[in-house]
Amino acid sequence: MAGNDRPRLYLITPAAIDLRSFPDALAAVLDSAEIACLRIALATRNAEALARAADTLREVAHARDVAVVIDTHVRLVVPHGLDGVHLGDGARSVREARRALGAEAIVGAFCGTSRHDGLTAGEAGADYVSFGPVGDTGLGPGRTAPQDLFAWWSEMIEVPVVAEGGLDAESVAALAPVTDFLGIGEEIWSDEDPAGALGALLARIG
């Protein structure tokens, strides 16, 4: 599905945030570039903390017409006015999430480096599939999603694809022609100026 157009940006929150300061940092990033979607990707399992974060970040994003999905927690989508869910288990939960949220909600699926899981997720009704990491993050099993996976997908499959994890300026430039979305998170949040870091990351694709 990807073509010669610049890929859209899919922003991913850090695993832990301070709600006293992060909304301002998020607003600055959203104001610095055209962001298509924000994923709330917090590691906490505390329902109250997740609810507070969802409400706060939704307000920041929706004020800028940016869609918001939350990692994993299907049950938080409707009560907190979110646009959908991002599932981390490939195709396994896609049909269940779709039944729970309805046809209009965004349901995305992270499929690691597995083309098979991506195809299965697409067939199950995922609105997008994400593959990654594309660079070495020093975590997990060490496998990375190669550029030819994205090239094949963008040529053969209509379901939009997201490249995420371990992006740098070089991989962004290489993947830009063959992915629909760039999933950007820790690459910028560890910088003192996340908006500036985003600009530097994207500089080679104009």
Q: What is the pLDDT of residue 137?
A: 77
Q: What is the pLDDT of residue 120?
A: 97
Domains along the chain with CATH numbers: 8-205 (3.20.20.70)
pTM metric for this prediction: 0.95
Q: Is the peptide bond before 133 cis (omega within 30 degrees of 0)?
A: yes
Q: What is the pLDDT of residue 118?
A: 98
Pick out the chain residues at pLDDT < 70: 1-5, 138-139, 206
Q: What is the pLDDT of residue 139?
A: 66
Q: What is the pLDDT of residue 167?
A: 96
Give the Cα separation of 38 and 170 in Å (integer). Answer: 23
